[in-house]
Structure 1
Amino acid sequence: MTIEEQAPAVSPIVLEVVEGALESVRHEMEVLVDRTARSSIIREQHDQRAGIYDASGRCVTAVSFSSVPTPIIRKFAGTIRPGDIFIHNDVYQSDGGVTHLPDLCLTAPVFRDGELVAFVQSFGHTGDIGGMLPGSIPLGSTEVFQEGILIPPSRLYHGGDVDTDLYDLILRNSRFPDELRGDIDAFCAAVRAGAERVATLFARYGTPTVISCFDRMLERCASDLREVVLPQIPDGTYRFEDFCEYEDVQPAEPRTLLRIRCTMTKTADGILFDFDGTDGQVSGSLNWPGTPSSYARYLGALLKGYAPDVVINDGVLDVVRVDVPKGSLLSPEFPAACAWRTYPFMRLLDIGQGLLAQATDGQVPAAAEPISAYGIFGARSDGTPFLLREITGAGSGARSYADGADTVDAAPESRNMPAEFAENFFPVRVEHLGLRPDSGGPGKFRGGHGYWKDIRVLTDGLLFLYADRVRLAPWGVAGGRAGASARWILNPGTPEERQLPAKAEGLPIKAGAVLRVLTSGGGGWGDPLDRDPATVLLDVHSGVVSAEAANAAYGVVLTTEDGRIEIDGAATEALRAARRSTGPGRSMFDRGPGFRELVASGALVPWFVEDDAYVGGQR
């Protein structure tokens, strides 16, 4: 009789205890990595994730940002031993769990009484694993081989003994081997600790009971989605598309935008996302080598907004299905470049929200662009090389009940990089750090604000810039307006001031130059003329909304008496009434002026029209 056949019924109390213990283990693993890794993006910004899986590779903890152990199971089945630790980053052998090469994944098995009962994993974005440019995320790569070392599923530790030849090979391919060693050692420590904690859980409650808990947790996710979430979304078929900006990526490939198109079919039993019509793979690095199951996990996480207490684990695969055309931007053929799969990655969230907005009359958050990044590469005064790289958060989209959050990153539990850390470890000085005024999209509820950060570079170096949503702003929903687009400005307020390209690599930057980072704001929700004037005034007093924007965007008339800004109530009511009588009316989506200009010029042709708002396709 197998363990599964022996599995007993599990009481609700034991189930909650086991589930809580697993989440505690996952959290402990991530904290351990935060405290011991060396890459700034992991250590300071938490671009890393842990996960716990059953013996078949199903994730029983949150899956929205975690890898999968199935490549390890497939390659090493029958030979996995206690003390083994596996490593991989090959995006084309990862089952969609790793999607660009800097994300190294470490996996450890969990044994109980000689039986393999579970896996734990830790993975995160390391600083440099080789390739054509420092940082290993080149825009201009045309094949994955240019982006760094590819590590197929490999055994780094054999029963507790490290494979020094393999380890040396990996480190030899990094420009910063000491930093990379610190990251890998941190991941190894995390999976060892995680495996020990999970083994203790099996010892305490017995293998059949814990496996029954695993099964029940997966079943509960699926049943909660069917019983709680799906009834909130009307049955039907809905269409939406969004775009990644491709300018400045591959000059030999003269394309402006990349289109991702999706049709969502909702029934009482589940949801199908069909990406037929999505653009084909490109020669630049904006391809995303995912799989249908990895996309289902990713899009399924959006459903948590309808039931915040639901843990979205691999049970979501029983409810959400995804079809992706082969050879497309979302399913490229090996060895297509994929270092900046980040922008399709972000766009899928917006597409999912756009589809759900149509199904629920706008009861979703507005769009956001919570990942842009800059890098500065050079040498310190002692000649040692450095790479300062930061993922810069942005404003999140407003919701139907609240403003968006300011300066957030897409990675779960992510953080900004402290100015003190940057100044202590790199030859830079942060001269301004705050919110970017007027960046949040106007609405009844305002989009969150982006960053305004001025960085003075103290040595000559090279500048790397990566931003999307520059021409096409984060859209507003249900009458809300688009947020401000991201901008990079060199030497602001001087005769040498110039706006830099959204995406650029290896730009020379001189000692003393200032880079101004202006990240995007989230889209607004609802008609800005419905926003409480007192809330608009509070934003003005806080310095996040200008007096000009209060009038132009929100129809609030302000006066100044004794140096104090106040609301002119009668004038505000009159102005709002006049604008309502002459305005264009409510539209479901506002994509901003850049989108309207492209439509007017004929560069974009609408796929369909929804509430007089273009939701367009590319000619």
Structure 2
Amino acid sequence: MSTTVDPITLDLIENALVNARSEMDSVVVRVALSPVIREQHDAFPMVCNPAGQMIVGQFGSYIPAIVEQYGDNIHEGDIFVWNDPYACKGSISHNNDWCVMLPIYHEGVHVGFSSMFGHMVDVGGKVPGSMPSDSRTIWEEGLRVPPVKIFEKGQMNEGVLAIMLNNSRTPDMNRADLMALIAGCRTAAKRVNEVCDRFGRDTYLAACDKLLDRTREAMRVLIRNYIPEEAVSFTDYVDDDGLGNGPFKMHLSIYRRGDIAVFDWTGTDDQAEGPINFHIHEGLCKLFFGVYMIMAFDPKIMFNEGFYDLFEIVLPEGSLLNPRFPAALSNRLNTHTRFFDCQAGALGQRAPHLSMAAGYGTSPHFIFTGKDSNGKYFQLMELLFGGVPGRPLGDGFDGHAWWPLFSATPIEYIENYYPVMVESYRPVRDAGGAGLHRGGAGIEKIYRVLEAGSISIHDDRETVPPWGINGGLHGGTSSKWLQRAGSETRERIASKLDNLHVEPGDKIIFITAGSGGWGDPLDRPVAAVERDVADDLVSVERAEQDYGVVFGPGKTLDEPASVTLREARKKERGEPAPFDFGFIPGVHAAE
């Protein structure tokens, strides 16, 4: 006889699990040492049922792939660790992500798993930070650890830990961050045991099943409402692979077959020579589509893996999204985030009122390494943010992360712990695509280094602009500049480079991409344009060019002239285009 769970108990257990997931984050932040995890929160927790399905979390479950390898050799007190994307079927996607998994037992009975992965500052390889922009194989990208037990029945495997730390330039940070992930998983196990004690183990397990079923039914409705039977397709591009090749096409077709949504990446370019390949797990692919549909169409739905059987994924082997071993993977985020843009572009064709434009399109990072005045090695790694796209509910965010829980590294932290001064940090004028709802602006961050060393930079959307939707215009692209000490000249440098030598007083100007606008910019309230001009987010020239809003001397709004110009522009232009891609070198012919 199956255990019944009343609605109130189900909600209590759901919220207990959601709180446990949040507590995992809090524990990790308190224990970790690296700025990437401690300050920027680049770590992702989840709690799963005994089958390894994610009940709460963000990145979806990779547990079945690990359980398949170990079978019955999983016991209470075991803790697993790994970082090799190819050894876990793409459940994590580059060597910097160290993943921890802990089986949860209640009174000797297996009731689930807790797991967490986080980005380690350095895992070896040929460059500091372990993300070379010019790698051709994963062998160049640092230590690869297959799923192994770092704890076996409660006893630490010191040999495994020693090997992992011995291959990093930042062993102290890595050790602290790894122990933080383990502590987070143990916290979740404790909370699950408390829920089982309070409500009964059978009730807890039945509630997990019901939470999956509820999400599945809600997703079935979304599929019926928003996925058409006739295929819709969309194409976007990654700039380059760091080795001079590109742009790289990503092509997505979406259609429905009964209750099954099919997401087909046929037509996507072959895997790259450089490290932008994204070895994505099929389940992770389903998760990304699911989270987009939930956030775009019904954010009240609980996010878990209950809907997986309603999705069918086609990932052509040997493509940018399913590369063959040993393809390089370290900078896969350029492809990863373009994945989201393709979803928005495809789904937005049938539900434009619920879709959004394209964003800054990667996870830009800045690495500065060297020795300080005391001869001590330092390695600063910072993730930077850009423009989050215009959307149905309003303007995009300026200088914001793609990932909801990420935050910028405090400037005080950087300047306190590293030989760097941050001279400026501000949004970029005119980087947000014009629209009824303006796209978010990229940011300009100016670093002045105080010691000699080397810098590495990884970014994208330098040549392929973030597109606008529903009449919105494309956003601004990224750029990077070097200004040597004592010089007033800025030298443009590549968006993907490693080990550029710098001397004290040199400045690095890091400009990220903006994002596309949503809706007709000629319909944007004049007061909103006036505010953007006052806040230096939009120039007077672009206000007139893109929005038809005229300013006189001293940035004084000329409202009658604006009304006349807007009416004339609309009559001359006609209906706005559904998408504005801008000019894409290598794709569009030069005018």
TM bracket (short chain):
over 0.9
Question: What is the match of residue 615 of structure 1?
Answer: none
1:258 matches 2:253: no
Matches of 2:290 and 2:90 in 1, distance apart?
A: 15
Alignment partner, residue 23 of structure 2: 28
Q: 2:309 aligns with which of 297, 315, 318?
A: 318
Structure 2 equivalent of residue 159 of structure 1: 153
CA distance in 1, matches of 2:238, 2:374: 41
SS at match of 1:447: coil
Following superposition, the deviation at residue 40 of structure 1 comes to 1.1
The separation in 2 between residues aligned to 1:389 and 1:433, in whole angstroms, is 17
Stretch of structure 1 that moved more, 284-293 or 423-432: 284-293
What is the match of residue 583 of structure 1? 573
2:56 corresponding residue in structure 1:
61
For 1:51, the equivalent position in structure 2 comes to 46
TM-score (norm 1): 0.92
Once residues 401 and 191 of structure 1 are traced to their aligned partners in structure 2, the CA distance between those partners, rounded to angstroms, is: 36
Which string of whole-angstrom CA distances, capped at 9 and with x for unpartnered residues, describes residues 469-489 of structure 1? 111111100110011111112
Q: In structure 2, what is the equivalent of residue 515 of structure 1? A: 508
- Structure 1 position 484 matched with structure 2 position 479: no
For 1:333 and 1:585, how far apart are their aligned partners in 2? 45
Q: Corresponding residue for 1:113?
A: 107
Please list, as runs of the form range in 1=range in 2, the aligned pairs for 1:383-422 lying within 5 A after superposition.
Answer: 383-422=375-414
Give me the whole-angstrom Cα distance separating, in 1, the residues matched to 2:446 and 2:77.
47
Matches within 5 A, 1:262-277: 262-277=252-267
The equivalent of 1:533 in structure 2 is 526
SS at match of 1:600: coil
Equivalent pair of 1:96/1:290 in contact (CA under 8 Å): yes
1:449 aligns with 2:435: no
Any gaps of 5 or more consecutive residues in structure 2? none
Alpha-carbon separation, structure 1, partners of 2:151 and 2:173: 20
For the 8 Å contact 2:52–2:61, the answer to whether it is kept is no
1:495 to 484, 488, 510: 488
CA 494–311 in structure 1, closer or farther in 2 if over 3 Å, else same? farther
Q: How far did residue 189 of structure 1 move?
A: 1.0
Equivalent of 1:144, from 131, 138, 142?
138
- Per the TM alignment, residue 220 of structure 1 is displaced from its structure 2 partner at its CA by 0.8
Give 1:299 deviation, angstroms. Answer: 1.6
- Relative distance call for 1:336 and 1:107 in structure 2 (3 A) is same
Counterpart residue number, 1:337 = 328
Match of 1:131 among 112, 125, 130: 125
* Structure 2 Cα separation of the partners of residues 470 and 7 of structure 1: 57
Q: Is the 8 A contact 2:223 2:259 kept in 1?
A: no
Written as runs of structure 1 = structure 2, the 5 A alignment for 1:167-182 is 167-182=161-176
CA contact (8 A) 1:299 1:348 kept: no
Alpha-carbon deviation of 1:62? 3.3
Residue identity in the other structure for 2:107: D
For 2:372, the equivalent position in structure 1 comes to 380
TM-score normalised per structure 2: 0.96
Q: Distance in 2 between matches of 1:66 and 1:427?
A: 38
Query: Does the residue aligned with 2:306 lie in a helix, a strand or coil?
Result: helix
Q: 2:25, 2:45 within 8 Å by CA — same for their partners in 1?
A: yes
Q: Does 1:471 align with 2:463?
A: yes
Q: What's 2:236 paired with?
A: 242
What SS does structure 1 have at the residue aligned with 2:439? coil
Once residues 203 and 74 of structure 1 are traced to their aligned partners in structure 2, the CA distance between those partners, rounded to angstroms, is: 29
Q: Is the 8 A contact 1:362 1:477 kept in 2?
A: no
Q: Which moved more, 1:468-477 or 1:73-82?
A: 73-82
Question: Cα offset for 1:270?
Answer: 2.9
2:499 to 490, 495, 506: 506
Q: Verify the 8 A CA contact 1:242 1:347 in the aligned structure 2.
A: yes
Q: Cα offset for 1:173? A: 0.5
SS in 2 for 1:122: strand
Matches of 2:480 and 2:449, distance apart in 1? 15
Q: Which residue of 2 aligns with 1:328?
A: 319
Structure 1 distance, partners of 2:60, 2:36, is 17
Match of 2:12 among 17, 25, 33: 17
Counterpart contact for 1:393–1:450, Cα < 8 Å? yes
Q: Distance in 2 between matches of 1:298 and 1:205?
A: 32
Cα deviation code 1:64-99 (max 9, x no counterpart): x24522233122222222221110111012233210
Distance 1:181 1:189 in 2: 12
Deviation at 1:292, TM superposition (A): 2.0
User: Would you say 1:547 and 2:569 are equivalent positions?
Assistant: no
Deviation at 1:231, TM superposition (A): 1.4
- Counting only pairs closer than 5 Å after superposition, residues 561-576 of structure 1 correspond to structure 2 as 565-576=555-566
Change (3 A) 1:31 1:116: same
How far is 1:566 from its partner? Answer: 3.2
The CA RMSD over aligned residues, in Å, is: 1.7
Structure 1 unaligned spans of 5+? 1-5, 603-619
1:286-301 alignment, distance < 5 Å: 286-301=276-291
1:352 paired to 2:346: no
Once the two structures are TM-superposed, the CA of residue 234 in structure 1 deviates from its matched residue by 4.2
Conservation of the 8 A alpha-carbon contact between 1:293 and 1:317: yes
Contact 1:293 1:321 in 2 (8 A): no
Q: Give the partner amino acid of 1:354.
A: G
State whether residues 233 and 360 of structure 1, in contact with CA within 8 Å, keep that contact through their aligned partners in structure 2: no
Asked if the contact 1:109–1:118 (Cα under 8 Å) also holds between the matched residues in 2, the reply is yes
| In 1: Cα distance, 2:69 partner to 2:193 partner | 23
Per the alignment, residue 588 of structure 2 pairs with 599
Once the two structures are superposed, the pairs formed by residues 81-92 of structure 1 within 5 Å of their partners are: 81-92=75-86
Query: Residue 256 of structure 1: CA displacement?
Result: 2.2
- The answer (yes or no) to whether the contact 1:453–1:516 under 8 Å persists in 2 is yes
- C-alpha contact (below 8 Å) 2:228/2:255 kept by paired residues: no
What residue in structure 1 maps to residue 37 of structure 2? 42
Query: 1:584, CA displacement in angstroms?
Result: 6.5
- Once the two structures are superposed, residues 554-574 of structure 1 have per-residue CA deviations (whole angstroms, 9 ceiling, x without a partner) of 1101124xx5x4321211111
| Deviation readout 1:38-76 (Å, 9 max, x if unpaired) | 12111111111100011111111134x245222331222
2:94 is matched with which residue: 78, 100, 124?
100
1:617 paired residue number: none
Task: Tell me how far apart the structure 2 counterparts of residues 336 and 7 of structure 1 sit (CA, whole Å).
Answer: 47
Equivalent residue of 1:499, what SS? strand
